[in-house]
Structure 1
Amino acid sequence: MTELADPSKLLYKAVTYQTKATPLALTEESISLVKANGSYNVSADDILIEIHSAALNPVDMLWHRASNWMVGSNQKTLGRDYAGVVAKVGANLSGKYSVGDKVCGVITEDFGIGTVAQYLVLNPTKNPGIVKVPTDVKLSFNELAAWPLVLNTAYNMLELHGATKPVGSSSNILIIGGATACGQYLIQLAKVAYKVKTIVTVNSGSADDFVKLLGADYTIDYTKHKNIAGPVAKIVQDELGGEKFQFDELGGEKFQFVFDCVGNSDLFPEMDNILKSKKEGSAVVTIVGNKKADYNTTTFMNTVSLSLIKTVVKSKLGLGSFTYTISRSGPTAEWCKRAMGLFEEGKIKIIIDSTYSLEDFSKAVDRSTTNRARGKVIIEVKKDQV
């Protein structure tokens, strides 16, 4: 923060852009404060958070490339996940927050505020995915920033799947992209919170030990197959990768759920042989559509294909052979608090791939868009990681 002769202005640094035509840049921004009761503060329904850590998600770069003339050329800030300390509290929130509270969460407003910044003005009503961190929680700011968006996304996939039956102890599930940030939490939540019967993941062979440590029972190395439908069908039938795999170990059943974290349509022609029927409470749930995204070039429009539209419409009308749901993160304070308990109990691991300084934000962006990050990419905005 920079001291100004004008106490109604707060200067800070942030990674910003205006439209998709403007590159990401570290700029100096300002926050306007209002005078009340002899001191300068944020508006009545807002809090001011001093950001210590922010986490990047590939979708952050999609928002950048989606910023065309229709969403305006106002200054926009990169990032959605954050962890920090409350610096100012609006008059209407004085009973809920105090200066010095440690908080973390994910913002849900689009095309405006962001978290890769030294300060963030937040309206908790508009952004309910905020958690006051209990004083006895020993997680670092980096760890606190690493989970909100992806864990909430994974939770929504497991809950808001559109099937007639819930994910549970009798479920066999397939996770495409088990080593992705979202996939990592899907594996852990499915195993710990939902106690599913069996988890099969699709990932590169180099990640096998990693996903099995998180809770995956069996893996498929997608790098060895042009199309994953074959090896997935073999698991359902009797073998995997040349080694005998008796499907009796899965209870003699097909998968109840397929969760897609990367974008894939290989399974569609084989779905009747892989997935239980709709009447048995099955569903395919995706967060990215039906084709793999290249986060260096993909825009939101690129992710929408005619085949995707047809699949979604048929599912909504009940005409498709399987239920197909596109899931989106919708965090709630209640779930965020529950997640905090799972972390503290050691039941779920927070996995960080790499950390960068605010000045090195471009390196963090590059790492986040490689599709190789194993865990979250963190930007340490303030380096006192207590």
Structure 2
Amino acid sequence: MAVEGSKMCFVSAFMFVATAATLLTPDKGFEVTMGTVTKTHIKLAVAACAVIVSYRLLKSTNKQVEPAILFSDTKKMKAILVKSYGTHPMEIGTIARPRVTKATDVLIRVKAASLNPIDYRVKEGYGRNMLEHIRTKLGFSNEFPFVIGRDCSGVVEEVGELVMNFKPGDEVWTSVMLFHPAGTLAQYFLTSERDVSLKPKNMTHTQSASLPYVINTSYPALQKAGVNPSSAKGKRVLVLAGTGGIGSFVIQLLKAWECHVTTTCSADGFEMVRSLGADDVIDYKKESLVSAMEGKERFDYVFCTRGGNDTYRSCLAVCRSGGAVVTIVTPVMRNLDRFGFIIGSVVNLVDKIKIKIPQKLFYGKLFVHSFHEQSGARLGEIAELVQEGKIRACIDTTYDMLDANDALNRVKQGHARGKMVVTIPDYDH
């Protein structure tokens, strides 16, 4: 009864604070991604959020969150540590290794890890409000230090007693969710069996490390837009930023699914994207999407790797009626950082409704936000395509662990041709 009472108190508190948010909203509203959020928008979203939060809390179970066990072994390892938010350099340090405690745990000795744009943003504090909230809920008590890196390739060191598909010595790859403070830029990484797959046999660890995060970010995004192996054949798809880590993979995956692919990049990237299979290329420095597609057939699907109001509108403009635009760059964490968790959640809901509903009702176009979703099975499916020669790794530069800061700076500069990969040596302690 005490637990249920605390839930009711939380629901009441949420509704009180959310209602107060409507009173604090300026008459002129907030300027957000797709325009202005007015006081009326806030009121409607608050009502929806209150119902959703109330329902989920009252239907949730009473089980306690099991504290996460990270960096807790008596054995040590080297890792690249973020000790505070900002632009200052990361530090290489010696910390406790993670250890196998659950029956489904897989401990991986990391051979290589890749870096993504989200890594430098999180290091500098992007998404702090949401990430801290989720980490607390999952039992991660310490904010610092944390380790960046969203994917890796390595060798299984140890497994839990119920792990059936992997054994010590297996070469594997995996990715990790953004909120997890134990990233892959370390000698060892602990994860669950369900998130692991045997890496492609015809790739090195350095090559394999460049792909898991982009696979588990882009594949589910395509599925949400309605693109999959059975529906893709012959479809016209636009992929923004084809020379980047995400874009270079998506081009290859869509060609493996027999799509017609158009991509954007600058002139010096034309050769690269055509080698990946792109049928048409738009030089974004010379012409806009809308002007480039004037008088031409619109796309069935648009895969957006850039954020912002203008980008979304351009993508929707070149998408046909009945088609879909999916973006992996959303304003969700930015709004939570700017407005706080409660008001930010309301603004996110309004932001989404203002573009999604009108596009669907009046133009017949689906607009979808998508996020990274871990899946070992998905990695296994792509590993088969890699081994068939249909997908290859695209690596801009490879760095040693000691040069991890240089690697992150290179990512931050943008305009990379593929991924940045950091190799992890076997240090002695």
- What TM-score, normalized by structure 2, do the two folds share? 0.70
Q: Cα deviation per residue 1:3-57 (whole Å; 9 max; x = unaligned)?
A: xxxx960111111224425752211110365xxxxxxx65443222111101111
Please state how far the C-alpha of 1:111 moved relative to its aligned partner.
3.6
Please state how far the C-alpha of 1:60 moved relative to its aligned partner.
1.5
SS at match of 1:76: coil
Residue of structure 2 in register with 1:250 after alignment = none
Q: Which amino acid aligns with 1:263?
A: G
CA 1:170–1:123: 2 relative to 1, 3 Å: closer
Listed as ranges, the matches of 1:237-248 within 5 Å are 237=295, 247=296
CA 1:23–1:335: 2 relative to 1, 3 Å: same
1:275 aligns with 2:339: no
Q: 1:59 aligns with which of 104, 118, 121?
A: 118
CA 1:63–1:166: 2 relative to 1, 3 Å: farther
Moved more, 314-323 or 139-148: 314-323
Please state how far the C-alpha of 1:362 moved relative to its aligned partner.
0.5
Residue of structure 2 in register with 1:328 after alignment = 371
SS at match of 1:110: coil
CA 1:16–1:309: 2 relative to 1, 3 Å: farther
Q: Which amino acid aligns with 2:155?
A: V
- What TM-score, normalized by structure 1, do the two folds share? 0.77
Taking only the aligned residue pairs, the percentage that are identical comes to: 27
Q: Which amino acid aligns with 2:379?
A: C
Unaligned runs of 5+ in 1: 1-6, 34-40, 238-246, 248-252, 291-297
Structure with bigger helix share is 2
Residue of structure 2 in register with 1:17 after alignment = 82
Q: Cα deviation per residue 1:250-294 (whole Å; 9 max; x = unaligned)?
A: xxx42111111122544665677632213xxx111111138xxxx
Please state how far the C-alpha of 1:113 moved relative to its aligned partner.
1.1
1:285 aligns with 2:285: no
Q: 1:88 aligns with which of 158, 163, 174?
A: 158
Please state how far the C-alpha of 1:165 moved relative to its aligned partner.
12
Residue of structure 2 in register with 1:147 after alignment = 211
Residue of structure 2 in register with 1:228 after alignment = 289
Aligned partners of 1:13 and 1:28 also within 8 Å: yes
Residue of structure 2 in register with 1:29 after alignment = 95
SS at match of 1:9: coil
1:189 aligns with 2:253: yes
Q: RMSD in angstroms over aligned alpha carbons?
A: 3.4
Aligned partners of 1:228 and 1:266 also within 8 Å: no
CA 1:354–1:268: 2 relative to 1, 3 Å: closer
Q: 1:49 aligns with which of 81, 99, 108?
A: 108
In 1, the alpha carbon distance for the partners of 2:351 and 2:98 equals 47
Aligned partners of 1:260 and 1:288 also within 8 Å: yes
1:158 aligns with 2:219: no
1:115 aligns with 2:178: no
Please state how far the C-alpha of 1:309 moved relative to its aligned partner.
5.0
Unaligned runs of 5+ in 2: 1-71, 136-141, 339-343
In 2, the alpha carbon distance for the partners of 1:179 and 1:262 equals 13
Name the count of aligned residue pairs. Answer: 337
Q: Which amino acid aligns with 1:289?
A: T
In 1, the alpha carbon distance for the partners of 2:361 and 2:268 equals 39
